[in-house]
């Protein structure tokens, strides 16, 4: 009796037949998705570009240039990520009382067509505020050379932070909603998922898009790019620590600006109140209003701007 789980697909490689059971083949992406990955930058790609690792970036360049679709259906850590993703997601939703939607939704960029992502999920009203993108990861959890066991999760958070920013941009663009957080849920070996919240930094997003655009333009002209992400990735919430700036290396600058802030705080609050009251007094049919040494211009959308005469 033939076991359908092991009806295989065979390929010839270097004169040797490479047989992968159909169970694993079924976990592969469809051909359209594989083709799109060659011509776009996805979440995994932006992680590579942001890593600064020359060899990894060069390999990515060659894959995109030569149209290589790597077959990952026989790579154990990748398979573990696929198999554990649904369990990871359901557990995270349950334990954190959040609703994770838009699972496996594919988004292509509007402003930047080379941008693409496949979402693990979205939380629509995270903390009852804006949306958050969600990503599930699996790791065998072994430390690298010169690492301790405690270093593994912080390294992975840093590694996947670019992908969260990439996906957050695409969700925000596609749905017209702010996405202020990324959520990373990491399964480490047999442990239950660990939950990590990363604030989305728009400046960092812009830097990622800038470098990805440079990479794609380099592909067009056939020139290997030198990628360097200038902006620093935001620190995850759980890694942030309090600082006493009186004992920091920038204590003198801090004190100078702190003194100025305290001296002008009252004036700033008075300024805001005066501005609001002046705008309220502008007649509804006014194109502009002048007097008292100031002018208020009224735009077509009724917004008001105050200028000194």
* Residue partners of 197: CB distance under 8 A and separation at least 6: 132, 181, 182, 183, 236, 237, 238
| 296 or 27, greater pLDDT | 296
pLDDT in tens, 192-238: 999 999 999 999 999 999 999 999 999 999 988 887 776 777 877 77
Reported as a single tens digit per residue, the pLDDT across 154-172 is 999 999 999 999 999 999 9
For the residues 259-271, what does the mean pLDDT come to?
87
Number of Cβ atoms within 10 Å of the Cβ of 121: 24
Q: Where are the domains of the chain?
A: 17-239, 245-308
pLDDT of residue 28: 72
Residue 4 has pLDDT above 50, yes or no: no
**Whose CA is closest to 201, among 179, 175, 230, 185?**
179
pLDDT at 242: 86
Residue with the bigger pLDDT between 245 and 107: it is 107
pLDDT (average), residues 32-59: 90
Q: Which of 11-15, 22-26, 130-134, 236-240 has the lowest mean pLDDT?
A: 11-15
Banded model confidence at residue 307, pLDDT cuts 50, 70, 90: very high
CATH of 17-239, one of 3.40.50.1000, 3.40.190.170, 3.90.320.10, 3.30.70.20: 3.90.320.10
């Amino acid at each position: 009796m033939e076991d359908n789980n092991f009806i295989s697909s065979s390929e010839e490689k270097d004169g040797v037949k490479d047989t992968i059971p159909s169970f694993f083949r079924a976990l592969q992406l469809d051909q359209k998705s594989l083709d799109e990955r060659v011509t776009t930058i996805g979440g995994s790609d932006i992680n590579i570009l942001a890593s600064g690792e020359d060899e990894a970036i060069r390999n990515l360049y060659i894959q995109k240039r030569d149209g290589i679709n790597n077959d990952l259906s026989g790579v154990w850590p990748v398979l573990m990520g696929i198999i554990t993703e649904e369990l990871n997601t359901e557990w995270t939703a349950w334990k954190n009382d959040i609703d994770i939607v838009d699972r496996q939704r594919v988004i292509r960029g509007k402003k930047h067509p080379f941008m693409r992502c496949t979402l693990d999920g979205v939380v629509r009203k995270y903390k009852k505020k804006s949306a958050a993108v969600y990503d599930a990861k699996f790791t065998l959890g072994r430390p690298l050379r010169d690492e301790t066991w405690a270093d593994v999760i912080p390294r992975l958070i840093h590694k996947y932070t670019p992908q969260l920013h990439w996906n957050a941009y695409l969700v925000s663009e596609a749905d017209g909603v702010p996405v202020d957080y990324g959520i990373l849920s990491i399964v480490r070996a047999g442990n239950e998922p660990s939950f990590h919240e990363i604030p989305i930094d728009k400046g960092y997003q812009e830097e990622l898009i800038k470098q990805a655009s440079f990479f794609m333009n380099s592909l067009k002209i056939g020139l290997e790019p030198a990628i360097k992400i200038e902006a620093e990735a935001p620190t995850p919430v759980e890694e942030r620590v309090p600082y006493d700036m009186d004992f920091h290396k920038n204590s003198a600058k801090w004190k100078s600006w702190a003194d100025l802030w305290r001296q002008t705080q009252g004036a700033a609050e008075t300024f805001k109140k005066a501005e609001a009251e002046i705008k309220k007094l502008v007649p509804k049919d006014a194109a502009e209003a002048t007097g008292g040494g100031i002018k208020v211009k009224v735009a077509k959308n009724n917004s008001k701007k105050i200028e000194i005469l």
